[in-house]
Every structure is written in C-alpha cells, then in structure tokens.
Amino acid sequence: MRSLRPRTLRARLTLGLVVLLAVSCAAVGLAAVVELSGFLTSRLDEQLTEAGNRFAISLEHQGQVQDDHDGDERGDTRRQATGTFGARLVDGTVTHAAVVRPSGILTVDLTARDRKRLAAVPADGRGHSVELSALHEYRMLVSRGLDGDVLITGMPLEPVEAAVHRLELVAGIVFGAALTAAGVAGALWVRWSLRPLSRVAATATRVSELSLASGEVALPPRAPEADPRSEVGRVAGAFNRMLGHVEDALTKRHASEERLRSFAADASHELRTPVASVRGHAELALLHPGPLPPEITRALERIAAESTRMGAMVDDLLLLARLDAGRPLEAAPVDLTRLVLDALTDARATGSGHRWELDLPEEPVTVTGDEHRLHQVLANLLSNARLHTPAGTKVTVSLEAAATTALLKVHDDGPGIPKDIQSGVFERFTRADRSTKAQTGGAGLGLSIVAAVVEAHGGSVAVESGPGSTTFTVRLRTAAPT
C-alpha cells in the first residue's frame, strides 16, 4: 500500500484537492438525493390524502365488488391513478386486496408476510412505506371504515425511486466530469505554483552531486527566487544564502589548501639541499683517518642516519605536493607482474623473518602508468606489512586481471589495524602506534603516497582488516591491447 501513496508534494496537493472536492460533491449529491426523495415522498403522501379512501371503501362491502371470470374486480376506481392499491382488514386480517390497472381492478395475491406487514401499518394519518412481494414498495395510508374495519390505500414509490435514481446518475456523471476537470486543472495549477520549489530542488540535486571533499568547487547558478512573501520564495532565498556561505567557505578552504601545498612543495624543495649537506658532512667526518672518540663516532652515525631518514621524508612530501598539484605522471605500458616479482624479491631481502608468498596469473598483467611510481606503491605496501607485523607473519601478494581491471592484493595474517584508525589509514601522518616510530623510522606517509599514486593512475585502493587478517586491494585499469 505504501507504494500507492503519492511521494511528491505536487502529487499530494493535487490528491488532497481532488479528495476535498470529491467529499464536497458527495455531500452535495447526498443532500440533493435525500431532499428530493423526501420532497417526492411528501408529495406522494399529499396525493394519498387527496385521493382519500374511495377505492378502499369500495372493497368494504362484498356486494359492491364482484369477481368476473378473468379475476378482475369491479370496484370504484373514479379519480384513482393507475397502480393505486386498496386493502380491507377486519380484526387485523386482510379480507380484500386489489390494485388499479389500466384495464381495470386486479386482485393481489398476498403472502403471509405481506399480510403481517399490512396489519402492522399504524392508523396515524401519515404515510408509511411498505414493501409487498407482488408489488414491491408502496406508500400506504391507513384509515378507519364505517364498520370498524381498517382501510388501506397505497400508491407506488417506483416513480419516486426512478426520479431519485436519475438524479443520482446525473449527479454522478456531472460530479465525475467536474472532478476530472478539477483534477487536471488542479495539477496544472499546483505544478505552476511549485515551479520555484522544483528549481530549488533541481539546484540542490546538482549541488549534492558535486565532490566537495577537496579542490576547487564551482557551485551551480543560484535557484531563481520567487516572491519573498511566499513560503516557496523564503525557501529559495534561504537556500541561495546558504549556497553563498558554502561557496565562500569552499573558496577559503581551497585557498588555504593551495597555500599549504605551495608551502609543503617549497619547504620540501628547500630542505633537500641542507639535509643532503648535513648527511654529506657527517659521512665525511666518519671517513676522518685519525682516531675519533666512540661517542663522537656514535653521534656522527646518528646524524647520518637521521639525515637519510629526513631526506626520504622530504622526498615523500615533495612527491605528495606534486601529486596534489595535479602534475601528470608518465603513461606507458607497465608489466605489473614483473614489478610484483621485483618488489617481493626486495622485501624478502629486507624482511627475512617473514614468510613471503606469491599468487600470479599465468599470463602477464599490463597496465598503463608510471613504472617508478607503481613500484613505489608495491614497495610501500610490502614495507608496511613487514614493519607492522611480527616475525613469522605470512604475507601473500596476489595479482589477477579481469576484463579492464587489474587487482593487486597484499594480505597478511598479522594482528590487524585498529578499528579506530582504519577510516583514516590513507591519510598523511597516520600511524597505528606512535611508540613504534623510532623502531620503524616512518612518518606515516607510506600509505598516503600509495593512495595518491593510485588515484593519479585513475585507480582505487581499499583495506579490510581484522585480527589475523589484513588485505590491501589496489585496482588499476589494464592497458588496452595493441
């Protein structure tokens, strides 16, 4: 039943208008039918009163009514309309019953039920409706005879019912046509009245389809404003003001993001030289031919190691800044199968305590992209699995190709990623455990680089993690066959 209910405001208003009009028409029609029925019945009662009981009196004495061979009776039918009914009751028992026909008077055969109904009609000088099995419904008037018997005179209600039914038919046709016309006109009127609201809804739909997460956003033109004194006009005005506020906020956010990206790119670029210089001086000092105190040697080694780590971090930040700026990557056919083999070989060399497994298709998988950056994606995923799982963990790298998509999965049976950071695992500087920073040497940029490089290739990356199972899935478009 819910599916039959109107969903739009326009349909509800139109349906409400039609329902109200239908109720009004039904009330008017019912009142007219009841009034006409009462009026015609009262007129019939007046005719009964005017006609008197002449026909019924003629049935009072048997000597005045003679039966012939064909069943007709000879009674007093003067000034009696065709269909007039007369009956005589003695001590509550019907002795005679006849009806006036065009050809004369016809005796009426009454059933026991009909006789009870006639006997139950009160002699109060008012008309009463009685339904007889042979004559259908009649309007009866009861009077007392000279001999103390009861005389009943009746007239058929069929003309009244016919007039009422005709009124019902005419009213139904007229009201039906009026409802149809009112429904069509009402729908057009409601549609015209709600046009400004429909434009607001269309504008809101276009805004909802925009990606507002990041970058510069161009909002659609404002919704046309209607009369501000109307409800629809106030909604349109408030919606347009809201869009203005949203556009201002998005513009300021985009400007802030651009300044931050510019700062990150500039800072990363400027830091590369001093960091390389510090590392070079530390390595040069370690090559001094003379003896150095052990604490000086240890300090120089730490300076060189931290300079190397800082240099890698600067390179990662510079890469992210370039990807944020939308700089295009190289687009060439890349044998993804060979990249997986090379990356897993490097991972085995650096993570001998882990168990590394491969699941590759028989045919090579080729994608279009930047080979160096895709290798970095694989290296970061494998490094992430090695650094955040204990020794003995099994890491499985699988590759499969569909019609136009290559799926690269890195699965491990380690402890999993905490649920509270899974939603932001691809954001920058996100770490599962900050206390391991000194051990892993990472800054939380590896997975953010994976996401940025994959998105720059038109692909996607997702993670599913729980205790004992973590899977990173990378989707890339396969290269078109040549």
Q: Please name each of the domains of the chain with its CATH number.
A: 1-50+159-193 (no CATH), 52-156 (3.30.450), 209-327 (1.10.287), 332-477 (3.30.565.10)
Euclidean distance between CA atoms 34 and 28, whole angstroms: 10
Q: Is the pLDDT of residue 4 over 50?
A: yes
Provide the pLDDT for residue 74. 46
- Extended strands (E) in 145-238: 150-156
pLDDT tens digits along 26-73: 999 999 999 998 999 899 888 888 877 777 777 765 444 444 334 344
> What mean pLDDT, rounded, does the chain reach?
80
- Residue with the larger pLDDT of the pair 365 and 256: 365
* Residue 184 and residue 192 in contact, taking contact as beta carbons nearer than 8 Å: no
Euclidean distance between CA atoms 58 and 62, whole angstroms: 8
Highest mean pLDDT among 50-59, 430-439, 456-465: 456-465
Q: Per mean pLDDT, which range of 79-93, 208-222, 298-312, 363-377 is the poorest?
A: 208-222
Provide the pLDDT for residue 65. 42
| Mean pLDDT value across residues 318-341 | 81
Q: Is the pLDDT of residue 373 over 60?
A: yes
CA angle 13, 16, 19 (to 5 degrees): 150
pLDDT tens digits along 91-143: 888 888 888 888 778 888 888 898 888 888 888 888 888 888 888 889 999 88
Provide the pLDDT for residue 166. 93
pLDDT tens digits along 213-232: 666 666 777 777 767 777 77
Note the pTM of the prediction, 2 decimals: 0.49
Euclidean distance between CA atoms 258 and 244, whole angstroms: 21
Provide the pLDDT for residue 436. 45
Distance between alpha carbon 373 and the CA centroid of its chain, in Å?
Answer: 43
Provide the pLDDT for residue 272. 67
Cβ-based neighbour number of residue 282 at 10 Å: 19
Strand partners, 405: 477
- Give the pLDDT band of residue 482 (cuts 50, 70, 90): low
Q: Is the pLDDT of residue 394 over 90?
A: yes
Provide the pLDDT for residue 79. 64
